[in-house]
Structure 1
Amino acid sequence: MSVSQLPQLPGQQIFFDVIRERRSVRSYDPEVKISREELNEILRQSTLAPSGANLQPWRFLVIDSPDLKQKLLPIAFNQQQVVEASAIIAVLGDLENIRMAEKIYSLAVDAGYMPPDTAKSFVERYTDMYASMPPEIVHQIVYTDCGLVSMQLMLVARAKGYDTVPMGGYDKQKFVKAFGISERYVPIMLIAIGKAVKPGHPTVRLPIDDVAFFNEMHKA
């Protein structure tokens, strides 16, 4: 029996619905406000995403002040979702995330997930590893992990009935200057979150035969 013939697990269809219903929405109801408590819960669920060595290099600057959204508007090339959405979440990558290793692994010890000696060895190993890594490799790790958490954030938001759009179209240099972002953090993307007033446009995807290969890549 193939996997496709197996009976669906409870909640499986709901998950597939969330994936299918997530679309990039650019028109939001400006009257809808998402509470800080709910935004924190969305972020908490999002941070269950995987990361290299569980170092969790993502950081979030949540911009929900109307004045600051107006400040962001020209930096984001006047995309109206910046001011209409309930909030804009700037996903930042912490290039010095290794500083959090001791705290992360101490929490793992406290939770009973590993003995103290193992945690200590992990901290030492990854601290030495990061000290010798070229900056471009650190950037690559941070971009990969922050991409994972960003996708998870958008799916969590959809599961809670909200809409999102990832935004790469903004002036990153002006953004870091306007919002006082230090060189320790690299901007990854902006994510608008709120309630759609118009649904996102339906889109198509390439057939799997065009994008997936088994055991060897096909020649073009």
Structure 2
Amino acid sequence: MSTTDQQLSSEEVIRSRHSVRKYQRDVVIPEAEWNEILELALNAPSSWNLQHWRFLTIQEQANKDRLLPIAYNQQQVSDASVNVVVLGDLEANLVAPVVFENATPEIREMMLGQINGAYANNPSLGKDEAIRNASLAAMQLMLAAKAKGYDSVPMGGYNPQALIKEFNIPERYIPVMIISIGKAASPGRASGRLPIEHQVIQESF
């Protein structure tokens, strides 16, 4: 049975996901399967359900090779099946009318007022929410890929200005990270984790 045919439990998906930096080149993820991965990722939670992310997907080899120098020549960018540039929406409040179009008039008016008021009164909120919520979707994307038998690696090592220019990213969106996804050529190395007592503070410092 192939990896893609196996049903992994949620715990197995979480524990088996490791960052992979070496990929089998020329592996194409079937469109239907890739859409399933994306649909799973798009179920990530978000503030006010504004879904503050956009996924710029880069699958064509020529475009992957355009991305390679922008990502400081990290070879996985060229070899992986797909690279996803996770973007955060700095103006996600503009999506609110669509999100709440089927709500009752009272709830719609209340939510739009709350959202637009929050964005208007806090200049940093748009960026904070864009990064925070896009990061939630990015993690869900990696777990969805793993559940379907693919590996991934999130990357913060790239030139954001060059990325924006090369791929014509509008000012409304901020690059949050790049995720390479594909079939591992060699397994990711499990990394150690600090103990629970180091990472979890009970009730108060």
Kept in 1: contact 2:86–2:134 (CA 8 A): yes
The secondary structure found in structure 2 opposite 1:186 is strand
Shift of 1:70: 0.6
CA distance in 2, matches of 1:85, 1:169: 16
Shift of 1:14: 1.1
CA distance in 1, matches of 2:53, 2:119: 16
The secondary structure found in structure 1 opposite 2:25 is coil
Corresponding residue of 2:126: 138
1:127 to 113, 116, 119: 116
Which residues of structure 2 form unaligned runs of 5+?
A: 1-7
CA distance in 2, matches of 1:37, 1:211: 39
TM-score relative to the length of structure 2: 0.92
CA distance in 2, matches of 1:160, 1:76: 26
The secondary structure found in structure 2 opposite 1:192 is strand
Corresponding residue of 1:96: 91
For the pair shown, the structure with the greater C-alpha radius of gyration is 1
CA distance in 2, matches of 1:14, 1:209: 26
Shift of 1:146: 0.9
1:177 to 129, 148, 165: 165
Corresponding residue of 2:141: 153
Which range moves more in the overlay, 116-125 or 55-64?
A: 116-125
1:21 to 16, 19, 30: 16
The one-letter amino acid paired with 1:151 is: M
Give the RMSD, CA atoms, in angstroms: 1.3
Report whether the alignment pairs 1:45 with 2:40: yes
Which consecutive segments of 4 or more residues in structure 1 shift more than 4 A? none
The one-letter amino acid paired with 1:146 is: A
CA distance in 2, matches of 1:25, 1:205: 17
The secondary structure found in structure 2 opposite 1:28 is coil
Report whether the alignment pairs 1:79 with 2:74: yes
The secondary structure found in structure 2 opposite 1:177 is helix
CA distance in 1, matches of 2:50, 2:86: 16
Cα distance per residue 1:69-88 (max 9 Å; x no partner): 11110110111110110000
CA distance in 2, matches of 1:152, 1:19: 10
